[in-house]
């Protein structure tokens, strides 16, 4: 199949007289399976107790939701309705701001944002099927049909990962970033046979790369952008179109951010960088924390329990251990290694012109190698810059599940093609026996490994979807952080009438901003640019507190307040799972006389 580029070319499409029936059958079957699962998933979003649903997401998610909701009335991004807030990733925030226009109250907007995450997850699964179909190039019609069916299984593999679905329902940018990633791969592996097509695809890839970075700028994102951008440049030779489409969206957003917030990058990132440790990155850190982070990403991608934290109280229903977890992981990893070897071997043997096509196989193999090193580096950075927080960085793992499902699908599809090629060569004896045997062996590993993982995991994970239930009421005894914050906000709201202009200071305050609109004052700078200026200037937050003089405080006991002479009078104390003494405070503040 030399020159085909592992996909359906325009000539192939004409020869097949339009879309193949098996393509439609596969897509229809995938849509049917998803349609059977969606009512229960969406019922959770629609029918759950609102406060319990709010406690099922990370607190930082409200740093996206509230500024987006306020934008339609304030015309600037603000968490509390008063001060600017740049504690978000731009692409997802703009999408939320557009969604907020169609909702009159925050609760309906919240449910709409969570449902949008589900639909983005569904769309990613469907695009993943189309991407894996690009690798179906068997000559025998029955074998090609089998390849198309396995592409559908790969999409369902992604859809049924309980870990990935729950992550998509936390109102963070995970689901959108995954969709942009798979869409980018779909465009980057398309055939372009005319100058006009190459120009158009170069523009689309450039836009996709900028969208990916505006969704989440990470070491893994930079690796993806570099490899996909380089591949598009080598294939289509349109550097100015690619660079222009990549640059314009970034310049527009960074220009707006500089005018609106005074700086192009998110304030939250700058504050976290300032508060980060600077421990040395040693080989021990890389070999322990870097590889542990990579393994956690693989566990997450497989839908198996790992170190990455899911905030939902009933996450155990979707993620439970298996006595054969190590077996499935070993099969998956061996399949991915075989895929990389097959990609390198094919490129070396055929030495095709990259301008014609680099194909899905080569790009996926390159991304697997690149992201392996990127995840190890990312884990090492988290361990040395934000020690103790590795389990919270679940929203950083957007690309591993997509690439994992795509790679397993491509391994199975391309493995069947390799087995077909080995069989034909064996019959014709057109090649020495050693290459034929190697081709056959690689094909067997790829097909057997991917099929074993698919057969073992897809039905099991689909069964977990039936365990998703709506939350019937708010849990009054849970000591999780989100539940404790919500109970604290409810206590203050019910027992102390807040007057207009009275402020409630807190460090972590996402759900409090929802419960006490117009009163909450964020202190850690992640959702309050005014507070962040003090921190970025080398000060603590106490001068800001002394200046603003909030009346109440909700959080753990603030040591800095004691040093500044700010009196903290507890009104109520809630037990707190993090064992901070005396507990979670609802307090009234008084200030020293000037």
**pLDDT tens-digit series, residues 348-365:** 655 444 433 347 888 899
Contacts 24+ apart (CB under 8 A), 104-109: 106/65, 106/66, 106/69, 106/514, 106/517, 107/50, 109/65, 109/69
168 phi, psi to nearest 5 deg: -70, -20
pLDDT higher than 50, residue 7: no
pLDDT-based confidence at residue 580 (cuts at 50, 70, 90): low
User: What are the b/e assignments for 229-243, b being 16+ CB within 10 Å?
Assistant: bebbbebbebeebbe
485 phi, psi to nearest 5 deg: -65, -45
**Separation in Å, CA 375 to CA 305, 378, 398, 399, 586:** 18, 5, 12, 10, 40
Q: Which two tokens stand for residue 509?
A: 């305050």
Rounded to whole angstroms, the Cα distance separating 463 from 469 reads 13
Half-sphere CA count of 571, side-chain side, radius 13 A: 18
In the predicted model, what is the mean pLDDT of residues 428-451? 77
Rounded to whole angstroms, the Cα distance separating 120 from 169 reads 10
pLDDT higher than 90, residue 541: no
Rounded to whole angstroms, the Cα distance separating 540 from 543 reads 7
pLDDT higher than 60, residue 143: yes
Question: Residues 165-196: pLDDT tens digits?
Answer: 999 999 999 999 999 999 999 999 998 888 99
522 phi, psi to nearest 5 deg: -75, 135
**What is the per-residue pLDDT for 527?**
92
> Mean of the per-residue pLDDT values for the chain?
87
With H, G, I as helix, E, B as strand and everything else as coil, classify residue 525.
coil
Rounded to whole angstroms, the Cα distance separating 384 from 328 reads 31
Task: Establish whether the linkage from the previous residue to 196 is cis, with ω within 30° of 0.
Answer: no
Q: Against a cut of 0.95, is the pTM above it? A: no
Rounded to whole angstroms, the Cα distance separating 46 from 53 reads 10
Most confident listed range (138-142, 349-353, 405-409): 405-409
- The residue to which tokens 């939701």 are assigned: 65
Rounded to whole angstroms, the Cα distance separating 135 from 424 reads 19
**What is the per-residue pLDDT for 327?**
81
pLDDT higher than 70, residue 340: yes
In the predicted model, what is the mean pLDDT of residues 392-411? 88
Rounded to whole angstroms, the Cα distance separating 150 from 131 reads 12
Rounded to whole angstroms, the Cα distance separating 151 from 136 reads 8
Angle between helix 90-100 and 106-133 (nearest 10)? 130
pLDDT-based confidence at residue 268 (cuts at 50, 70, 90): confident
Q: Which two tokens stand for residue 78?
A: 């603000």
Question: Residues 468-499: pLDDT tens digits?
Answer: 889 999 988 888 889 999 999 999 999 998 99
Which residue, 540, 549, 550, is CA-closest to 516? 550
Weakest-pLDDT range from 222-231, 305-314, 537-546: 305-314
Higher pLDDT, 145 or 385: 145
Query: Alpha helix locations (H) across 351-468?
Result: 359-385, 399-428, 433-465
**What is the per-residue pLDDT for 309?**
81
Weakest-pLDDT range from 84-88, 223-227, 383-387, 430-434: 430-434
Q: Which two tokens stand for residue 49?
A: 């107790």
- Euclidean distance between the first and the last CA atom of the chain, given in angstroms as a whole number: 82
**What is the per-residue pLDDT for 10?**
36
Which residue, 165, 398, 411, is CA-closest to 303? 165
Would you call 196 exposed, middle or buried from its count of C-beta atoms within 10 A (0-12, 13-18, 19+)?
exposed
Q: Do 233 and 199 touch, CB atoms closer than 8 A?
A: no
CA 167 to chain CA centroid, nearest Å: 7
**What is the per-residue pLDDT for 378?**
87
Concatenated DSSP letters of 425-450: HHHHT-S-HHHHHHHHHHHHHHHHHH
Which helix (H) or strand (E) segment is 571 a member of?
Answer: strand 567-574
pLDDT-based confidence at residue 403 (cuts at 50, 70, 90): very high
Rounded to whole angstroms, the Cα distance separating 291 from 380 reads 8
Rounded to whole angstroms, the Cα distance separating 463 from 559 reads 48
Q: Do 490 and 466 touch, CB atoms closer than 8 A?
A: no
In the predicted model, what is the mean pLDDT of residues 22-47? 94
Weakest-pLDDT range from 243-247, 279-283, 386-390: 386-390
pLDDT over 90 percentage in the chain: 54
pLDDT-based confidence at residue 402 (cuts at 50, 70, 90): very high
Half-sphere CA count of 491, side-chain side, radius 13 A: 19
Which helix (H) or strand (E) segment is 554 a member of?
Answer: strand 552-555
Q: Which two tokens stand for residue 496?
A: 């102390």
- The residue to which tokens 């073992």 are assigned: 456
Q: Which two tokens stand for residue 309?
A: 């934290």
**What is the per-residue pLDDT for 429?**
64
**What is the per-residue pLDDT for 358?**
44
Beta bridge mates, 585: 555, 573
**Separation in Å, CA 562 to CA 178, 440, 557, 558, 590:** 45, 72, 9, 7, 11
**What is the per-residue pLDDT for 318?**
79
pLDDT higher than 60, residue 17: no
Most confident listed range (376-380, 442-446, 510-514): 510-514
User: What are the b/e assignments for 439-448, b being 16+ CB within 10 Å?
Assistant: bbebbebbbb
In the predicted model, what is the mean pLDDT of residues 559-587? 85
Q: What is the DSSP letter of 84?
A: B
Rounded to whole angstroms, the Cα distance separating 516 from 490 reads 9
pLDDT over 70 percentage in the chain: 92
Most confident listed range (10-19, 248-257, 424-433): 248-257
């Amino acid at each position: 199949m030399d020159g085909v580029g592992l996909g359906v070319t325009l000539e192939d499409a004409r020869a097949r007289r339009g879309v193949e029936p098996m393509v439609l059958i596969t897509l229809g079957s995938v849509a049917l399976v998803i349609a059977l699962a969606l009512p229960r998933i969406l019922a959770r979003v629609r029918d759950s107790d609102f406060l319990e649903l709010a406690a099922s997401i990370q607190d930082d998610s409200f740093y996206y939701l509230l500024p987006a909701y306020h934008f339609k009335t304030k015309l600037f991004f603000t968490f509390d309705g008063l001060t600017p807030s740049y504690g978000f990733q731009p692409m997802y925030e703009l999408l939320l701001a557009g969604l907020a226009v169609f909702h009159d109250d925050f609760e309906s907007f919240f449910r709409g944002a969570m449902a949008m995450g589900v639909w983005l997850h569904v769309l990613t699964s469907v695009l993943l099927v189309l991407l894996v179909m690009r690798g179906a190039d068997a000559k025998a019609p029955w074998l090609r049909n089998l390849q198309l069916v396995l592409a559908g299984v790969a999409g369902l593999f992604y859809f049924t990962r309980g870990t990935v679905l729950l992550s998509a329902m936390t109102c963070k940018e995970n689901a959108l970033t995954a969709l942009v990633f798979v869409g980018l791969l779909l465009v980057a592996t398309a055939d372009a046979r005319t100058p006009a097509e190459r120009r158009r695809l170069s523009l689309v890839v450039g836009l996709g790369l900028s969208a990916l970075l505006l969704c989440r700028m990470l070491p893994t994102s930079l690796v993806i952008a570099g490899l996909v951008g380089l591949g598009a440049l080598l294939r289509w030779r349109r550097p100015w179109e690619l660079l222009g489409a990549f640059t314009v969206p970034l310049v527009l957003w960074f220009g707006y951010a500089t005018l609106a917030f005074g700086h192009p990058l998110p304030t939250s990132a700058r504050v976290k960088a300032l508060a980060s440790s600077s421990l040395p990155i040693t080989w021990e850190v890389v070999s322990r924390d870097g590889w542990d982070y990579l393994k956690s990403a693989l566990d997450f991608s497989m839908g198996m329990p790992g170190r990455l934290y899911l905030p939902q109280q009933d996450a155990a229903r979707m993620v439970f251990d298996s006595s054969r977890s190590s077996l499935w992981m070993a099969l998956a990893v061996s399949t991915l290694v075989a895929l990389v070897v097959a990609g390198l071997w094919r490129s070396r043997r055929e030495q095709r012109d990259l301008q014609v096509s680099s194909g899905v196989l080569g790009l996926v193999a390159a991304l697997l190698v690149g992201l392996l090193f990127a995840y190890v580096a990312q884990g090492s950075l988290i361990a040395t810059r934000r020690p103790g927080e590795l389990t919270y960085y679940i929203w950083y793992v957007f690309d591993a599940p997509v690439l994992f499902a795509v790679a397993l699908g491509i391994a199975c599809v391309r493995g069947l093609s390799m087995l077909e090629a080995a069989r034909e060569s064996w019959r014709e004896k057109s090649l020495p026996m050693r290459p034929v045997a190697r081709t056959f062996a690689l094909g067997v590993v790829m097909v057997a490994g991917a099929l074993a993982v698919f057969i073992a995991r897809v039905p099991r994970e689909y069964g977990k979807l039936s365990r998703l239930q709506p939350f019937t009421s708010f849990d009054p005894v849970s000591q999780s952080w989100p539940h404790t914050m919500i109970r604290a906000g409810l206590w203050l709201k019910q027992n102390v009438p807040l007057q207009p202009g009275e402020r409630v200071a807190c460090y972590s305050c996402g759900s409090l901003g929802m419960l006490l609109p117009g009163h909450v004052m964020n202190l850690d700078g992640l959702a309050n640019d005014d507070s962040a200026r003090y921190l970025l200037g080398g000060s603590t937050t106490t001068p800001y507190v002394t200046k603003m003089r909030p009346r109440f405080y909700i959080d753990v006991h603030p040591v800095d307040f004691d040093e500044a002479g700010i009196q903290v009078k507890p009104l109520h104390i809630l037990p707190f799972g993090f064992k901070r003494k005396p507990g979670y405070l609802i307090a009234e503040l008084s200030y020293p006389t000037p």
